[in-house]
């Protein structure tokens, strides 16, 4: 019986997709003593994990080495037939959007088909990929039930949104509360019991159904996207009025109630905030509902890179330079500070826009040694060239017309950067508290 296996930790966990979501989850189960296997199409990922080598900063290789080679509670495989030996299977695959901002669930469908091929009675399937409300029951469940087995009768099915915040030193998979919604009470309680093998019982919150859990994640990230859009709009107004928005936010943050600080920037990136509002607005149209407020926020955030380019054009013009032919160094390629994840990175989009404007663009990122514009959103060629991070030397800084701070990694020495640069355009307040004639802020 699955409940008994979970209780005595003899349950076997399979995780489809061992990336930024799947690997931290696998680590959590494995550290708790639960036998866990990660399944992935990438042989390089699988081979690395089986050697105890991590490719994700949030899961140090020392930790991976211990649970893979010493405790032997974690392994990885490219053979998806091994799913038949698992008691519970978690689907942790990417859910991007296409160039029309419509949901791309191809990975979810493929992972569900893999789970269906080995589905057996008594198994628990849990979708963790962020998606629109209804995906578990409208996409995953039908694929699984093509086997002839029925959800809630022959196997269990639930949704639990991932809440991983890459680079967060305070909250990780072990102490971030989990929300769980199954298609029936038993599916919910079994999934909750699994999470309680490594999370305190009171940190697992059970809801009535998968749609509620799916909407929960969408609300969390849409809340952030809308508030970022609000402060981005305030930034543009403040710039016209000659007001420092960063000082305004710092002052407003002194209020102990009724205010939560959000910060402006060149746009929103990452695998959730940049995607979730579009998933929701797409699904809402099925119900003849138009999320005008949310779409307006998305429109504001999507236009921020273009606003940055216009501001940079003015900054260079004041120095007698044209953006066409200007040499520009972009600091940061990841979608946020102190990580190596470039998914939906605004910094990359800025590089593309600047090149389209005729600028010669270089970049530096200590976490991203190289990248290619391979995604269709960038209208990439079939064989896109590889960009390589440039060494951040005084000679490089002084040779460019402007340094654009797109990501304020902790190891950037902004004193050194300001001292050696002609112009610095700080988009994220990385130079907070510093004064310099060559410093300009978004």
Q: Which of 92, 107, 209, 272 is catalytic?
A: 272
**Token pair recorded at residue 174:** 């072990």
Give dist(CA 162, CA 121) in Å, integer.
26
Do residues 77 and 46 lie in contact, with contact meaning Cβ atoms separated by under 8 Å? Answer: yes
State the CB neighbour count (10 A cutoff) for residue 100.
8
Do residues 282 and 102 lie in contact, with contact meaning Cβ atoms separated by under 8 Å? Answer: yes
In sequence order, the 6+-apart residues with CB closer than 8 A to the CB of 271 are: 20, 94, 96, 130, 341, 343, 344
Give dist(CA 205, CA 201) in Å, integer.
9
Tell me whether strands 178-182 and 156-159 are parallel, antiparallel or unpaired: antiparallel
In sequence order, the 6+-apart residues with CB closer than 8 A to the CB of 64 are: 27, 49, 52, 53, 54, 74
Q: How many helices (H) and strands (E) does the chain have?
A: 15, 15
Do residues 369 and 333 lie in contact, with contact meaning Cβ atoms separated by under 8 Å? Answer: no
Q: Is residue 107 flagged as an active site residue?
A: no
Apex 355 CA angle, 353 and 361, nearest 5: 115
**Token pair recorded at residue 343:** 């998914």
| Beta-bridge partner residues of 155 | 151
Give dist(CA 98, CA 227) in Å, integer.
24
Among the listed residues 244, 218, 198, the one whose alpha carbon sits nearest the alpha carbon of residue 26: 198
| Beta-bridge partner residues of 204 | 178
State the CB neighbour count (10 A cutoff) for residue 122.
12
State the CB neighbour count (10 A cutoff) for residue 310.
12
State the CB neighbour count (10 A cutoff) for residue 378.
15
**Token pair recorded at residue 420:** 């050696």
Give dist(CA 315, CA 215) in Å, integer.
42
Give dist(CA 366, CA 412) in Å, integer.
9
Tell me whether strands 424-426 and 439-441 are parallel, antiparallel or unpaired: parallel
Which residues are tagged catalytic?
272
């Amino acid at each position: 019986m699955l409940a008994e296996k979970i209780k005595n930790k003899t349950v076997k966990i399979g995780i489809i997709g061992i990336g930024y979501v799947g690997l931290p989850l696998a680590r959590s189960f494995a550290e708790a003593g639960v036998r866990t296997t990660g399944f992935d199409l990438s042989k390089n990922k699988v081979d690395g994990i089986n050697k105890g080598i991590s490719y994700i900063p949030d899961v140090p290789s020392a930790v991976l080495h211990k649970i893979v080679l010493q405790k032997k509670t974690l392994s990885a495989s490219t053979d998806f037939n091994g799913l038949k030996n698992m008691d519970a299977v978690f689907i942790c695959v990417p859910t991007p959007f296409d160039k029309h901002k419509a949901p791309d669930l191809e990975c979810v469908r493929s992972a569900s088909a893999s789970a269906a091929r080995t589905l057996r009675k008594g198994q628990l399937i849990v979708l963790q990929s962020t998606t629109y409300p209804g995906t578990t029951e409208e996409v995953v469940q039908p694929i699984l039930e093509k086997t002839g087995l029925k959800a809630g009768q022959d196997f269990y099915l639930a949704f639990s949104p991932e809440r991983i915040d890459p680079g967060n030193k305070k909250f990780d998979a072990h102490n971030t509360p989990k929300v769980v919604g199954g298609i029936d009470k038993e599916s919910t309680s079994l999934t909750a019991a699994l999470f309680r093998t490594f999370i305190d019982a009171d940190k697992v919150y059970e809801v009535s159904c998968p749609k509620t859990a799916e909407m929960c994640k969408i609300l969390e990230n849409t809340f952030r996207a809308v508030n970022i859009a609000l402060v981005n709009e305030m930034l543009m107004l403040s710039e016209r009025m000659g007001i420092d928005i960063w000082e305004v936010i710092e002052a407003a943050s002194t209020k102990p109630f009724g205010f939560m600080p959000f910060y402006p920037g060149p746009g929103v990136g990452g695998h959730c905030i940049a995607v979730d509002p579009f998933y929701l607005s797409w699904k809402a149209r099925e119900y003849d509902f138009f999320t005008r407020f949310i779409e307006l926020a998305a429109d504001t955030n999507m236009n921020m890179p273009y606003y940055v380019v216009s501001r940079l054009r003015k900054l260079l013009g004041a120095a007698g330079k044209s953006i066409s032919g200007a040499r520009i160094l972009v600091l940061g390629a990841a979608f946020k500070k102190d990580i190596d994840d470039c998914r939906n990175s605004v910094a990359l989009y800025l590089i593309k826009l600047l090149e389209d404007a005729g600028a010669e663009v270089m970049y530096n990122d200590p976490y991203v040694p190289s990248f290619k514009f391979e995604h269709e959103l960038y209208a990439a060629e079939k064989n896109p060239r590889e960009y390589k991070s440039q060494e951040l030397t005084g000679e490089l800084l002084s040779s460019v017309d402007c340094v654009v701070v797109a990501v304020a990694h902790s190891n950037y020495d902004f004193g050194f950067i300001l001292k050696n640069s002609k112009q610095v355009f700080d988009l994220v307040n990385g130079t907070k508290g510093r004064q310099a004639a060559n410093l300009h802020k978004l």
